[in-house]
Chains A and B, each alone.
Chain A
Amino acid sequence: KQEVTQIPAALSVPEGENLVLNCSFTDSAIYNLQWFRQDPGKGLTSLLLIQSSQREQTSGRLNASLDKSSGRSTLYIAASQPGDSATYLCAVRRTNAGKSTFGDGTTLTVKP
């Protein structure tokens, strides 16, 4: 059974800092991995999706990497802003028609 872990559970940084969020998974036989952002009381917003054959994806100040062999993905946020404050979740899908397993998320606070 796939298990997805995100450490730390919470992170607080000053504005402007570059930071890395971590996502670990136990079964390396994945189809893809997706990073989401969730604001309090809201749904999830997709940030980046990495297919199993890819090593990284970039969107603006965000860069996500994937290392299947070690069961890890990182989300790099450059020049953090207070508007980046949210909970970030990663989700791992096992097959092309299968379900995703979600981590519990890392709650990020960026202080002005």
Chain B
Amino acid sequence: DVKVTQSSRYLVKRTGEKVFLECVQDMDHENMFWYRQDPGLGLRLIYFSYDVKMKEKGDIPEGYSVSREKKERFSLILESASTNQTSMYLCASSLDGVSGGDTDTQYFGPGTRLTVL
């Protein structure tokens, strides 16, 4: 079974702090994604990565950066946390987007609920 883990289930930070959210997958997946989920706004893509050291902006990248130094790990960084970044953050991975079929299936982690005070 594919396993996607996130470093924390709940996190409380103060405005202006630098925040790191870590995501690790154990199935050698090429693609990794960071989303945030907010009531009434649904799931929105922040960044995704299709290879080590490669990244692409999603729909709402402002205020965030990412790092993918190793294939299994994708980190989301809030350089200076703000209250409007309070949200549920979800990481996902998929094998690749080329072969088709089940390789496109996205597998999600349990989520990190971040509160910025």
Chain A residues in the interface with B (C-beta under 8 A): 31-32, 34, 36, 41-46, 49, 51, 89, 91, 93, 95-100, 102-105
User: Are B50's CB and A97's CB within 8 A?
Assistant: yes
Query: Which chain B residues lie closer than 8 Å to A91 at the CB level?
Result: 43, 106
Shortest Cβ distance from residue A37 to the other chain B in the assembled complex, whole angstroms: 10
Chain B 2-13 interface mask (CB, 8 Å, partner A; 1/0): 001000000000
Count, chain B residues at interface, CB 8 A: 28
Query: Which chain A residues lie closer than 8 Å to B97 at the CB level?
Result: 31, 93, 95-98
Query: Which chain A residues lie closer than 8 Å to B107 at the CB level?
Result: 46
Q: Which of B66-74, B78-86, B109-117 contacts A (4 or more CB under 8 A)?
A: B109-117
User: Are B111's CB and A49's CB within 8 A?
Assistant: no
Q: How far is the CA of A34 from the CA of B106 in the complex (A)?
A: 8
User: Are A43's CB and B106's CB within 8 A?
Assistant: no
